[in-house]
Chains A and B, each alone.
Chain A
Amino acid sequence: MSASAIAPSVHSLWTTAAPATEKFPTPHIEYAQLSPTLIVFGVAALGVLVEAFLPRKSRYTAQVGLAVVGLAAAFAAIVALAEKGYGTTKAHIAAMGAVAVDGPALFLQGTILLVALVAVFTFAERRLDPKAHGRHVDSFAAQGSAVPGGDQERAAVRAGFTTTEVFPLLMFAVGGMLIFPAANDLLTLFVALEVFSLPLYILCALARRNRLMSQESAVKYFLLGAFSSAFLLFGIALLYGYAGTVSYSGIASVIDGTAKTTPALASSTQNDALLLIGLAMVTVGLLFKVGAVPFHMWTPDVYQGAPTPVTGFMAAATKVAAFGALLRLLYVVLPGMRWDWRPVMWGVAIVTMVIGAVIAVTQTDVKRLLAYSSIAHAGFILAGVIAIDKSGVSSVLFYLAAYSFVTLGAFAVVTLVRDAGGEATHLSRWAGLGRRSPLVAAVFAVFLLAFAGIPLTSGFAGKFAVFKAAAQGGAMPLVIVGVISSAIAAFFYIRVIVLMFFSEPKADGPSVAVPSPLTSTAIAVGVAVTVVLGLAPQYFLDLADKAGVFVR
């Protein structure tokens, strides 16, 4: 733990001046330990330069290559750090107390990087839509006002405008997500939140088809996201007012009463109202990002309107990052407050599981269905978060890794089922898909079964892990609500399977596009992870278990 973690605060006015070197220490940055994040941000910046300086023709290749290499390098850096023991014995707080380098951080960063790597493949897919204006097109609009196949799009394509800016945007988002679960003070947390949210708002607006829905989703996401950021920031201000510091360990020691109090702080540290309101507001900000009820309203609209590759990435990676941040906040800053937040989180978890599952039953659009299913899954993960012990952390880590690949794969399959108007996301259009293309339908069925938590899939292993942690943490009622909502949730997953396999195909039904190796790889990775984590999860459970200790 670093002594400099306690930020300068009001009490310095009263104390005698400390030596200048201590007051304004030279920033000391552990570049090697922060290398994964730095690589990603560096590549993102390079991507901007590529957009600016490279000829239009070669940008696509350069951007995809750059993104893949950057993410792979960052992942290699994570593995190297973990090998050196930064996940366990050498875990510590880097960058002047701003960023933690510990097991959960490395595990989640690794997951985010792999998810992003697979997402790059789906972003780069250009074979699904028929050629427009003589060129291959991807899922993104060439220009804000361009209608697919319309005059403006033709003009944009003629001029050579391509949509390669999505890659730097993706990389900036990934960079923010890497910091988010590792942030060790509230300001870093906030900055990371904004860094990964802003690119996502833009990405959501970029769908080539259904422009209006896409823009609507971006506006909704932005407005509600801005509200949640405001909540978070307000909460941070209140917590700072309470503890006189924004550092996690600093706040934790004030809560525990182990911090040295100064006369100036004495009155505010007695003020539990500041603490409780601040805590509630920060939690609201994070629960918004994980999509927990009652802060879930944005999820279905945004998931439906955003370009499907973006939805897949967002659904998987945002959830990982946000749950990481929530875990760190609850386990590092607020363990002393667990009697205050646990009952509330119990309520949130129960409502999230039940409402997510029940509303999903009535959905008729695949993407909205998956959105509500993601809400229900957020509830299951919250059940593990509440366990408040080491098995709680590791089970959540494992669940996140398992869930994110199923989600990516499922959304990648959604991009394949198309008709003349682009993706055919209405469920009635999926009738009889199992007859038309048994393989695609079978793969999607595997993902649905994993979502439903059927044994021998990764979904079951994850669900068992979090419920086990919850039961051991004494939250048996939560487990029972969890299994009941799982049963409800199973109903709508199964309904899709019924539709695909047992309904007669419609004459004018959608066709299944033959993807390039890019999307095929993404789907194959999804299936492989689902099966491996389902059949032989021990290695990954051990990994999550070893990674389950926060540095403080």
Chain B
Amino acid sequence: MADSSFPILTVTAALPAAGAIVTAAVPAARKAAARYTALAFSLGTLVLSLITLFRFDPQGARYQFTETHTWVKSFGLHYDLGVDGIGAVMVALTALLIPFVMLAGWHDADPLEDVTGPNRRWRPTQGFFALILAVEAMVVLSFEATDVFLFYIFFEAMLIPMYFLIGGFGDRAHAGGEEEASRQRSYAAVKFLLYNLAGGLIMLAAVIGLYAATAKQLGTGTFALQDILNARASGKLDLATSTERWLFLGFFFAFAVKAPLWPLHTWLPNAMGESTAPVAVLITAVVDKVGTFAMLRFCLQLFPEASKWATPVIMVLAVISVLYGALLAVGQRDIKRLIAYASVSHFGFIILGIFAMTSQGQSGATLYMVNHGISTAALMLVAGFLISRRGSRLIADFGGVQKVAPVLAGTFLIGGLATLSLPGLAPFVSEFLVLVGAFSRYPALGIIATLGIVLAALYVLVLYQRTMTGPVKAGVAGMSDLKARELVVVTPLIALLLFLGVYPKPVADIVNPSVQHTLSDVHKTDPKPALEAKK
């Protein structure tokens, strides 16, 4: 168990935050130094997050490594940190992906360096890596926060660096030329920000409502998750049914925008399409996970009754997400937008698992978050390497790549197969669990959702076929294969996909007790034919 003396969670978040400042301060001419500084900080964060993960005791207290300080008393805001199994795994996933994101985006800021004249103050490379570290710090804090308001602050604040990453360092490969690319980029960045900000502000209203409710019934308003749960358990805090439902909707709306759930997903294809591949990975594999994670931690725990009330509607929306995302992915002509719609489909599965309210479903959903993070990162980053070689993201511009660049094509295939949940690769385990969980409570929805797998096979294999097989197209002919730096990015991700596909037990063991806690919060037990519910 945790020795409470060393605030490891704070340090895990403070390290990338400090790294952002240090990286930003590196002089303009020392671009390489900036890159290595940022990478070093992200690796340090990874080490800390792994230490947390390995020292986490699944059978111990629900929240471990806890830290409690009052931040702003008048607002009931506490600096409360703590991780359950789910949180620890998500922090580790974030810390794991960031170094790969950085390595893959090693030269992403370079085009910006040249367009301006000599300017001591204009340092895009430093800015790019500092922003990534800033996002990492805020994401880590939102996974660790056990105070609703603290969570909200970082949930909102992370939009700003993310916004600059999308709008400032977006993809320059565009059919309409530089001018059009610039316009699309700002459009995508603004759309991303407005959707998420609107969601966040609705949540703010709910957060204030929660404060007003606790202040009225407990005397002093509080946002500390544990205080609120204790007060509910002891009956001191008793939210009226309608209040609870409104508050739930306020929270859920924000998370559903972030996750994203159909019909609030439309910002994602723009944002992922217009940003560079590493930033797209940051969006879908890291930042968006905060949305689904928060559903588990905050929606279900704070508003169990309302969650049960809303479950049928949310399940239907999730199934629509699964199918709609997959169908639109089939129809895409742009590689990155295709992956974005595939992600919409996958987030549908995650939400399906969460609200199935079974232990398989929720364990599956948590594993899904991890596996989706890794598999999408692999697929998207390889796609990014592919796109940067050709200077186009249109599927039609590719063909026969596997003859010219076999390693690239091979890794792309593995990433794709992971995305379609091929057995033996990690996502299969989680998708299977989610579907089992959903089926045991909502058989009809479970069956419909399986269609998503069929469609996934379609969009992935057609993508592979059109880009990699067939005759070598003109622009593809001189394409180089993966370089050493790119192999360093791809190989570990693929290794992890294989490992977790064959042996998911380590992650599952950490996650399962936390899932049980969450389920008992909503007073749900698994339906009769329980597979692994040992209590």
Contacts and interface: CB of A to CB of B under 8 A. Distances in A.
Max chain B Cβ within 10 angstroms of own Cβ: one of A455, A468, A536 = A455
Contacts of B205: 467, 476, 479-480, 482-483
Q: Among the interface residues A480, A504, A541, which one has the most CB atoms of the partner chain B within 10 A?
A: A480
A455 B154 CA distance: 8
B212 A471 contact: yes
B160 interface: yes
B505 interface: no
A468 B211 contact: yes
A504 B73 contact: no
Interface string B165-195: 0011000000000000010011001100110
Contacts of B193: 490, 494
Interface in B84-129: 115-116, 119, 121-123
B5 to A, nearest CB: 25
Interface in A420-458: 435-439, 449, 454-456
B208 A455 contact: no
A467 B216 CA distance: 15
Give the bracket for the number of chain A residues in contact with chain B: 35 or more
Contact of A468 (B197, B198, B208): B208
A439 B201 contact: no
A461 B154 CA distance: 14
Nearest to B179: A504
Contact of B121 (A437, A460, A483, A542): A437
Given A454-B160, A471-B209, A486-B201, A438 B121 contact: yes
B198 A498 contact: no
A334 B68 CA distance: 43
A537 B156 contact: no
B74 A541 contact: yes
A464 B209 CA distance: 11
Nearest to A490: B197
A500 to B, nearest CB: 11
A248 B524 CA distance: 60
A196 interface: no
B75 interface: yes
A467 to B, nearest CB: 5
B185 to A, nearest CB: 7
Given A455-B152, A479-B208, A501 B157 contact: no
Given A435-B122, A454-B156, A502-B189, A483 B201 contact: yes
Contacts of A125: none
Contacts of A472: 211-212, 215-216
A455 B156 contact: yes
A536 B77 CA distance: 11
Nearest to B215: A472
B264 interface: no
Contacts of A437: 121
A538 B74 contact: yes
A438 B122 contact: yes
Contacts of A479: 205, 208-209
Nearest to A472: B212
Contacts of A129: none
A483 B208 CA distance: 11
A491 interface: yes
B444 interface: no
Given A483-B202, A541-B74, A467 B197 contact: no
B153 interface: yes
Contact of A464 (B75, B160, B215): B75
A461 B157 CA distance: 13
B36 interface: no
A293 B26 CA distance: 48
Contacts of A223: none
Interface string B139-173: 00000000000001110110110011001100000
Contacts of B115: 504
Nearest to B76: A468
B204 interface: yes
B55 to A, nearest CB: 30
A484 interface: yes
Nearest to A440: B121
Nearest to A482: B205
Contacts of A491: 190, 194
Interface in B56-88: 71-75
Given A479-B205, A486-B201, A468 B212 contact: yes
A179 interface: no
A465 B75 contact: yes
Nearest to A501: B168
A285 B383 CA distance: 64
Contacts of A494: 163, 190, 193-194
A490 B196 CA distance: 11
A487 B198 contact: yes
A498 B209 contact: no
A455 B160 CA distance: 10
A479 B202 CA distance: 10
B487 to A, nearest CB: 33
Contacts of A480: 205
B186 A465 contact: no
B197 A487 contact: yes
Contacts of A542: 74
A84 interface: no
Interface in B201-223: 201-202, 204-205, 208-209, 211-212, 215-216, 221
Given A487-B197, A501-B164, A501-B168, A468 B75 contact: yes
B150 to A, nearest CB: 10
Contacts of B209: 471, 476, 479
Contacts of A461: 72, 75
Contacts of B123: 438
Interface in B500-527: none
Contact of B185 (A502, A505, A537): A502
B343 to A, nearest CB: 24
B74 A484 contact: no
A135 interface: no
Given A455-B153, A483-B205, A491-B194, A498 B75 contact: no
A545 interface: yes
A131 interface: no
Contact of B182 (A439, A484, A504, A537): A504
A85 to B, nearest CB: 22
Contacts of A56: none
A545 B74 contact: yes
A495 interface: yes
A502 B190 CA distance: 11
B396 to A, nearest CB: 29
Given A455-B157, A542-B74, 11 more contacts: A438-B121, A464-B208, A468-B75, A468-B211, A471-B208, A482-B205, A483-B204, A498-B190, A502-B189, A538-B74, A545-B74
Interface of B: 71-75, 115-116, 119, 121-123, 152-154, 156-157, 159-160, 163-164, 167-168, 182, 185-186, 189-190, 193-194, 197-198, 201-202, 204-205, 208-209, 211-212, 215-216, 221
By Cβ-Cβ distance, the 5 closest A-B pairs, closest first, are A455-B153, A483-B201, A471-B212, A541-B74, A487-B198
18 contacts: A439-B121, A454-B159, A461-B75, A468-B211, A471-B208, A479-B208, A479-B209, A483-B204, A487-B198, A491-B194, A498-B167, A498-B189, A502-B168, A502-B185, A502-B186, A537-B72, A537-B74, A538-B74
